[in-house]
Amino acid sequence: MEYLLHIVILVSIYAVLSASLDLLAGHSGLMSIAQAAFYGLGAYSSALLAVQFGASFGVGVLAGMAVSVSVSFIVSLPSLRLHDDYFVIATFGFQMILFSIFNNWMDLTRGPLGIPGIPQPVIFGWKVDTHLEFLLMAAFFASFAYLAVYLLTSSPFGRVLHAIREDEVFAQSLGKNTLRFKVTAFAVSAALAAMAGSLYAHYITYIDPTSFTVMESILVISMVIIGGAGSLWGPLVGAVVLVTLPEALRFVGLPSSVAANLRQIIYGALLVVMMMVRPKGLVGKYGFGR
C-alpha cells in the first residue's frame, strides 16, 4: 500500500513537471531541455533554506519559485530571441551550466554528497509525515499546476501563445510583443518546475545532483510528447505512463543495474516511435511541431 502511494506521489510530482513543460513546449512551441535545471533550483533552494535556516515548507516553495523565476529571466531574455533549435541548444547549455553548479559548488550544494536531512513539510501546524498525507498535499499542488496551466492557456494570453506556436511572425504582425509573451510563459513554467522540485526535496528528504541531469529533462520531454503536447490531460497521461511502466519492470525480476538502463531504453524508444507513428501523443490533438 505504501508502495502504491509512493508511486502515485511520484506521478503527482512528475505531473507538475510535465504540465510546466507543456506550457512551453505544447502551448508555445518552445522546446526546452532545461526543465530539470529549474526543478533542481526549486529543490536546492527550499532544501538549503530548510536545512540551514530552518525555513518552513511554504517559505521554501515560494523562495524556490522566486529564485527560479529570476534565473529564468537571465536565460529567456537572451535565448528567446533565438529560434527553434537554437533555443533548444541554448536551454541545453543552460542545463549543463546549472548541473555543473549543483555538482561542483561544494560550499553551497555539497556537490555529489547531496543534502540529507531535509525536514518533512509542516503546513500551518499540520505535519505531513505519512504517505497518505503527502499524497493529499502533492495532489493539491498538481491540481494547482493544472488549473494554472488551464486558466493561462484558455485565456487571451494563451491564445497569443498558440498564435506564436503556429506562426510567430504573423503574431508579431498583429502587433503582439511576442518576446514578452514567451518570456512570461518561460517564467511561469520555471516557477511550476521549481514547485515540483521543492515537493520532491521535502518528500525524499535527500537531494543530490543526479536527480537533475539532462536525462531528467529528456524524461519530462518524453512525458509531454507521449501523453500529448498542448492538451490538458496529455502531460498527466505521459507522467502516469512513464512513472508506472518502469515500476512494472521491477516485478519482472530484472537485476536492478539493467532495470535502470531498460527504463531509459523504453522512454527513448517510445519517443522515437511516437514521433514516427503518433506525433500528437496518446491523448493530444495538436500535431507536435509540424
Residue numbers of the site for other proteins (CB under 8 A)?
31, 78-79, 81-86, 88-90, 92-94, 96-97, 100-101, 103-104, 168-169, 215, 218, 221-222, 225, 258, 261-262, 264-265, 267-272, 275-276, 279, 288-290
Give the residue with the Cβ less far from other proteins, 58 or 93: 93
We find the least distance from the C-beta atom of residue 116 to other proteins, in angstroms, to be: 22
Shortest separation between residue 227's beta carbon and other proteins, angstroms: 14
In 3-state terms, the chain is what percent helix, strand and coil (to 5)?
Answer: 75, 0, 20
CB of 8 vs other proteins, minimal distance in Å: 26
Q: Which is nearer to other proteins, 121 or 230 (CB)?
A: 230
List CB contacts of 126: < 8 A, sequence separation 6 or more.
133
Q: Which is nearer to other proteins, 154 or 261 (CB)?
A: 261
Closer CB to other proteins, residue 83 or residue 127? 83
- Buried residues in 124-159 as b, exposed as e (16+ CB within 10 A): eeeebeebebbbebbeebbeebbebbeebbeeeebe
Q: How far apart are CA 45 and CA 61, in angstroms?
A: 8
Judged by DSSP in three states, 249 sits in: helix
| Cell matching residue 237 | 497521461
Rounded-to-integer distance, Cα 239 and Cα 78, Å: 31
Residue 84 carries which DSSP code? H
Instruction: Give the residue with the Cβ less far from other proteins, 44 or 267.
Output: 267
Q: How far is the CB of 143 from other proteins (least distance, A)?
A: 28
Nearest to 43 by CA among 204, 188, 168, 171: 204
Residue 249 grid coordinates: 519492470
Q: How far is the CB of 61 from other proteins (least distance, A)?
A: 27
6 vs 263, which CB is nearer to other proteins? 263
Closest by Cα among 218, 194, 174 to 66: 194
Q: Which is nearer to other proteins, 174 or 276 (CB)?
A: 276
Output the smallest distance, CB 38 to other proteins, in A.
Answer: 16
CB of residue 268 to other proteins, shortest distance in Å: 3
- The C-alpha cell at 173 is 504582425
